[in-house]
Chain A
Amino acid sequence: MTTASLLAVTLESIAVCFEGIIPSSISTCSADGTPNITNLSVVHCIDSRHVGLSYQFFNKTRQNIGQNPFVQVVVVSPANLHQYRLDLRYERTETEGPVFEKMKTRLDAVASQTGMSHIFKLRGVDVFEVLDCRPINAEAGGEALPKVDFLPQIEEFTDRLSACAGLESVINVSLDSLSALFGYDHSFLMIPDEDGKRLFTLGSHGFGESGIGSEVWIGEGILGIAAQRREVVRTTNFSRDVLYSNTVRSAVERGGDDSLLERQIALPGLPQVQSQLVVPLVAQDRLLAILCLQSATTGRFLSDDERVVRIAARQMAAAMALQERLESIKLQEIPRQPSTVVPTAVSTVKHYKADDSIFIDDAYLIKGIAGRIFWKLVQSYAQSGRVDFSNKEIRLDATLQLPDFKDNLEARLILLRRRLQDRCDFVRLAHMGRGHFRLEVNRQLALKEW
């Protein structure tokens, strides 16, 4: 017999209650008849008749479920604080599969972000059949949020993407359009470095500081875990997550490798981020980037937003992969022109060999491969006044020791161009058509190597 029609309120109609924005409560009862009641951070809706609860610690609730499968949870709608009682019957515990993996990724991501990876481990997902779902006050009914029709926007989004030429254009147009078409006003995009250990920020939209060039480790924190697992991580009430984590926290010292990360550039981010949606961009089974959307509003990104951003991210990944391919085949030489401008002011460019970091007048600009490329360009400029360069010659220049990873050169040049925009008003890397760029310098440069 199907019992789906018996729920007084369908789970779909109260989907927003399962987003973890407001904590839920759970009551169980032992075999000897002693009730137990406690809070739950989130009840996950699995399908129209099942919910899942995370099993992290063996506590009284878990012990009681073993003795008596009947459970009640109360969930709260963040929209209007209506409360709903769900009568449940324990069915099974999943320790693998898509539901488990999704919950595990989210838990691990938040745990990693708050330095709690050794405490928070998902042991399983307890799956319950929903026997009844009804409003706490008989007067309240279901409250499905009006479905937003994203179709016209996603069509427009793909249209704009298809008109892009070049990786930088793909990134800029994507982030601008996510804001203009969907109202996702704060976003940034990070791409993996050559050795696949770090992500660096290549584009951002809607933040005070662009954060271009900032880095995180792949595998650490919300961004790093999403990249490593290639899974979407969505948080709806980050301050509650952090609060919860801090409550459980015993002092956690982190050591070592952090000094290797680029800390001189802060990640783009809202000071009061409450909601975050991190979506990996994957094409041909390669992680090309991660897209991060932020909002200071709790519950800003719901399941429909996740769905639409997944579609947008697939389009972005496909567009990026296509640009890579175009970059690598459309190479041609252009004539080299000596610079005719003779600037008067002098600035000092320092290159530190140890990490290829570049400082202009003692202000940090960039390091690593992009730093090496920049040093090569300004040396060439200082020696011969040369200003025009091609991607191909950079790629083929043995002295630069570029990793055998051609696809990342364009990203490095974008990074360099953006950092110059952010930090230096007298040196510019200008696009000169596909595969070519010009170094524009409006000041004399004194070069120093350390």
Chain B
Amino acid sequence: MENENPTSIGEELRVFLEGPVSVLVGTRDSRLIPEITRAWGPRVADDRQRVSLCVPLATSYKTLDNLEANGEIAVAFSLPTNYRTIQLKGRLVATGEPDSMDLAAVERHRDAFAKVNEPLGQPREQIDAFWQAEIETSPVLVRILFVPRQVFDQTPGPGAGRSL
């Protein structure tokens, strides 16, 4: 397992992580089988050492089980307009119920994500249907708080995967 110390998130990176990016969470179970889920409303904590995001319970049981069991988490933040992608790898601090600030961040994020996708040929209704389908069976969101220990630039190309 990676055992680096917590990394401090600079202002430019914070703005990117909290921008109109697609957010994908990767975890794994005890047999090292990976699991993907989509997350919304990422927020960098004031101490710049922790990041929170929200996942729909309906689509993320396995992710949450994995985090409970081993705490290993990887999150890719990717901007649809230019494919700039940052991956954070770290460990779970806690899961819990989102507060009003988290829910407001989810709303902002969904709105910004839809706006940035519209010129790429995805109508607003489709983007809304995207996350609405995820919460069709249950509107419950779960907040994941984790400490990033490594930051990678994963923008496509020969240099993808460079550690920052």
Residues of A with Cβ closer than 8 Å to B?
22, 25-29, 31-39, 41, 57, 59-60, 68, 70-74, 80-83, 85, 87, 119, 136-140, 237, 239-240, 243-244, 246-248, 274, 298
In the complex, besides A34-B2, A70-B31, A82-B133, 14 extra interface pairs with C-beta distance below 8 angstroms are A25-B24, A25-B76, A35-B74, A35-B89, A36-B74, A37-B36, A37-B87, A38-B85, A136-B59, A239-B121, A240-B120, A243-B81, A247-B83, A247-B155
Give the nearest-CB partner of B160 in chain A.
Answer: A59
Nearest Cβ on chain A to B159's Cβ, whole angstroms: 9
Q: Which residues of A contact B76 (CB under 8 A)?
A: 25, 37-39
* Contact A35–B137 (Cβ < 8 Å): no
* Contact B72–A34 (Cβ < 8 Å): yes
Give the nearest-CB partner of A22 in chain B.
Answer: B122
Given that A29-B28, A59-B160, A119-B157 are contacting pairs, would A137 and B74 also be in contact in the complex, using a CB cutoff of 8 Å? no
Q: Which residues of B contact A74 (CB under 8 A)?
A: 24, 36, 38
Q: Which residues of B contact A87 (CB under 8 A)?
A: 33
- B58 proximal to A (CB < 8 A): yes
Q: How far is the CA of A32 from the CA of B89 in the complex (A)?
A: 14
Give the nearest-CB partner of B129 in chain A.
Answer: A81
Say which residue of B34, B126, B134, B158 sits within 8 Å of A71 (CB atoms).
B34
In chain B, residues 2-41, which have Cβ atoms closer than 8 Å to a Cβ of chain A? 2, 22, 24-28, 31-38
A contact patch SS: mixed
Q: Which residues of B contact A70 (CB under 8 A)?
A: 31-34
Q: Which residues of A contact B2 (CB under 8 A)?
A: 32, 34
Q: Which residues of A contact B157 (CB under 8 A)?
A: 57, 119, 247-248
Given that A38-B85, A247-B82 are contacting pairs, would A29 and B121 also be in contact in the complex, using a CB cutoff of 8 Å? no
- B142 proximal to A (CB < 8 A): no
Say which residue of B34, B83, B137 sits within 8 Å of A138 (CB atoms).
B137
Interface-central residue, A22, A25, A28, A38, by most chain B CB under 10 Å: A38
| CB pairs A–B below 8 angstroms (21 shown) | A25-B24, A25-B76, A27-B27, A27-B74, A29-B32, A29-B34, A37-B25, A37-B36, A37-B75, A59-B160, A70-B34, A71-B34, A80-B129, A81-B127, A82-B133, A83-B38, A87-B33, A119-B157, A137-B137, A139-B136, A247-B84
Give the nearest-CB partner of B149 in chain A.
Answer: A34
Per-residue contact bits, chain B 113-140, to A (CB 8 Å; 1 contact, 0 not): 0000000111000110110011011000
Nearest Cβ on chain B to A439's Cβ, whole angstroms: 48
Q: Which residues of A contact B37 (CB under 8 A)?
A: 136
Q: Which residues of A contact B130 (CB under 8 A)?
A: 81, 83
Give the nearest-CB partner of B24 in chain A.
Answer: A25
Say which residue of A29, A38, A57 sits within 8 Å of B33 (CB atoms).
A29
Nearest Cβ on chain B to A77's Cβ, whole angstroms: 10
Given that A81-B130, A139-B137, A247-B156 are contacting pairs, would A35 and B161 also be in contact in the complex, using a CB cutoff of 8 Å? no
Q: Which residues of B contact A119 (CB under 8 A)?
A: 157-158
Q: Which residues of B contact A41 (CB under 8 A)?
A: 156
* Contact A243–B82 (Cβ < 8 Å): yes
In chain B, residues 72-104, which have Cβ atoms closer than 8 Å to a Cβ of chain A? 72-76, 78, 81-85, 87, 89
